[in-house]
Structure 1
């Protein structure tokens, strides 16, 4: 069992990756769990695509995003735990059972993602963080609304979720530092 599981959620271009990278730097004994990675890997295999390019924030990934979302939804409808199980099983056994390790789930997108970690590891181990930034800030980071993507469950399924431990505001450095202080007091 890990010491804590920090579960990050938020819209595209809100700064989830920046926060994840900051957490990894701050907590040296951490493992990153990217729920979209096993999805992208299997999607790349099934469709003859470049997995590494699907992991980045390139135009290549954007070309396939909508179809990848549909494909992922089909897999989730067959088994809601499918991608969570895959990513947890990528953690080396020694880290999976290290009680000092902190897991950072970088991209929870659905209630079933949160439910998986709470159900399997206990609510007391899970710190649920909703990262947010204004529409203007997200646009300055390259966000452009895409129908079928930004109004799909992969972006909106957690919009009405209310049980966050922290709403992490990430509009600018001052916002980040204030939210960071709250977060580090939760994960100690």
Structure 2
């Protein structure tokens, strides 16, 4: 069966909410969504317990090798991905050297707590290592009607949300994340027909 790895880091739970929406879109296409997260970095939390504890398993190297597509998600950190996710991505040199991710489709998603807080630059900077891995980037086309009505997150670069930990995702943010998941799954199945 075709598998899409939904790999994210979530401190408050907002990025995880988006990951779940992408997973729903992926699975609506008959593709398996494999949700994984990364561990905290001790220096990142200053020894404090994180506000959110993810219930999804930590990613393994085998998850990367087994996936037919990848969705990468992070909270916004000064317009960039969060350190725990970057730490994991920086450790994927062996997969880069072996070409394990070449020609697999990839998408990005992210969550921030305020408008104009760096959501789009976070999405764009997450694409850079994916390009180095030879992945094929998947965005949200303007044919997705929610892009025209959203009062929160979402852009052609990927799914995003603008909310605090207690606020649910907006309806348009959910629609955009679902649409991105559907598109990623469809391309994963098309580009890797032997996995279907």
TM range (shorter): 0.3 to 0.5
Which has the bigger relative contact order, CA under 8 A and spacing at least 6? 1
Superposition TM-score, scaled by structure 2 size: 0.39
